[in-house]
Amino acid sequence: MLNRKLKSAVTVMMGLGAMAFANLAVMPEAALAGEKTLRVAIPFGPKSSVPDPRARQNGWLSNRAGVSETLIGLGYDMTMQPRLAESFENVSPTEWRVKLRPGVKFHDGSVMTAADVKASFEKIDVEGHPGHNPRLSRLLGIEEIVVEDDQTLLFKTKKPSSAFLWSLTEPSAAVLKKGTEELPLIGTGPYIFVSAETEKRYETRKFADYWGGEPKLDHIVMDALSDPSVAALALQAGDVDLVTNYPEPDFAKLKEEGKGQLFAAPTTRLFFFQVRTADGPLANKALRQAISLGLDRETIVKASLSGVGGEKANAIFPGTMASWANTGLSLDYDPAKAAALLDEAGIKDTNGNGIRELDGEDISLKLRSYEGRAALRPTLEITQAMLQQLGINAEIAMAEYDANNEALKAGDIDMHLQAWGTAPLGDPNYFPSTLVESGVSYNFSGYSNPELDELLVKGRESFDDEVRKSHYDRIQEIINEDLPLIPVFHKTQVSVGNGKVEGFQIHPAETYFVTVDLDLAD
């Protein structure tokens, strides 16, 4: 039974001011001429006015918008599929031959060649170039790219990497041509980049010469509305045609009433806390373990997701990721065990003020999250109330995502609640090697475990899936034990259209959205 504080934390109040729709862009002139324009509300906008898909996480938006493409794609069954590559093969542990799809055109009308692909990939290693991406460079580990003929490349990697082909599905591994003033981003997708407004809008127009056929829509405008309740109201007002990340409570109500054009599908997205383990109070392993035991994940799912948006996490990978999930693991809710663990570690309330002490000081943790996903705020609030029940004070706040990461890296906050796709590449290597391997760019925990590091290397170097499975099973065990990441729940994406959206399908990795089949009925 929830106590009064916890019940109040579960109740999430949302409001909307008069300026709620200020983010919405003016409709393109083409729409006024009768051309078909789809308006979509998305949770996050572009990071610059010309966001090169190869840099940072820009590729996710560009890939979803249908502007940029990768050599290999992921099917809706999470298997590798030919995309810009017609075929691909593993020649040796460090060599991969990729044959390009013939006749693919860039948005400037030129035909894509192997030399173009090589030039595009080389930019990720050039410091100062808009496409520079050290994270992707490390993930791919390319030693050399050899152009064998106009349609064939040989990728040579620095080390054996069984995840290499999967890594080519990473949206940042986009094939681009050097931009011009008229076409600042020249990709190969079904839609051509028109313009972007930082954190607000991303606009495209169709590419009639797309290799996969002519798109059905003339224009697409993606409006970044970080508050899902505002996005829902924009749909009700007719200002957008589709909301990709609809508020779960509102979705549940529509579902119950049998109203709305509803889309829902499980994804590999995990809501989790990244924990500062290098220093501060959460360098104490017993405290981290007690916090995990004190989280009633079932209640969080019911309250934050209204029973329609996901399921509790037992490890970093969902059970539906059958090939790689360690289904023998669990993350239990046991506040009595949590209290006993804290007592045994000497983390007690000695002065009777209701707050346990560590090293003679009351424990007061700083927890942060960000806007853009409806479930983040209520999850943070419920977590605060659950920690209070353990005798742990928590200060919570919403801030900008990158600022939270920098604060965690500096040790200025203790936990950052975030939501990542755990298998955006279809392979288990990406998520742990990006977040918990020693010294990697997104390891803001400061966490280091030699056994885990060694297992990640073995997992990348082995080409036997059964052997790899044993390595990643153990990696999941270590994460559940050490808790540099505290998994909370796996997400189901819920989206709502205006009744006219056609050809929309939610991808389990959430890396694809715009296709030639996406349409808006008259």
- Whether residues 484 and 513 share a domain: the answer is no
Q: Is pLDDT of 8 > 80? A: no
CA atoms within 13 A on the CB side of 389: 25
Q: What is the CATH number of the domain that holds 58?
A: 3.40.190.10
Q: What is the pTM of this model?
A: 0.80
Q: Which of 245-259, 366-380, 442-456 has the highest mean pLDDT?
A: 442-456
Judge whether 252 lies within some domain.
Answer: no
Q: Which of 146-160, 295-309, 416-430 has the highest mean pLDDT?
A: 146-160
Judge whether 362 lies within some domain.
Answer: yes
- Whether residues 390 and 480 share a domain: the answer is yes
Judge whether 3 lies within some domain.
Answer: no
Per-residue model confidence as pLDDT tens digits over 164-186: 999 999 999 999 999 999 999 99
pLDDT at 17: 35
- Whether residues 113 and 210 share a domain: the answer is yes
Residue type at position 80: M
Judge whether 393 lies within some domain.
Answer: yes
| Residue 374, domain extent | 266-493
Q: Is pLDDT of 15 > 60? A: no
Degrees, nearest 5: CA angle 234-236-242: 65
pLDDT at 425: 83
| CB neighbour class for 236 (10 Å; exposed up to 12, middle 13-18, buried from 19) | middle
Q: What is the CATH number of the domain that holds 323?
A: 3.10.105.10
User: Which range, of 2-11, 254-263, 441-450, 459-468, averages the lowest pLDDT?
Assistant: 2-11
Rounded CA separation 438/151 (Å) = 38
Q: Which two tokens stand for residue 516?
A: 């030639």
Rounded CA separation 365/383 (Å) = 11
- Whether residues 379 and 233 share a domain: the answer is no
- Whether residues 209 and 306 share a domain: the answer is no
Q: Is pLDDT of 23 > 70? A: no
Rounded CA separation 145/391 (Å) = 57
Judge whether 468 lies within some domain.
Answer: yes
- Whether residues 143 and 237 share a domain: the answer is yes
pLDDT at 433: 94
- Whether residues 342 and 462 share a domain: the answer is yes
- Rg of the chain over CA atoms, in angstroms? 24
- Whether residues 228 and 281 share a domain: the answer is no
Best CA proximity match to 122, nearest among 170, 189, 54, 56: 54
pLDDT at 79: 87
Q: Is pLDDT of 61 > 50? A: yes
Q: Is pLDDT of 466 > 90? A: yes
CB 124 within 8 A of CB 54: yes
Best CA proximity match to 91, nearest among 178, 152, 50: 152
Judge whether 372 lies within some domain.
Answer: yes
- Whether residues 145 and 291 share a domain: the answer is no
Judge whether 13 lies within some domain.
Answer: no
Per-residue model confidence as pLDDT tens digits over 383-430: 999 999 999 999 999 999 999 999 999 999 999 999 998 988 888 998
**Residue given tokens 């809706």 in the structure block:** 76
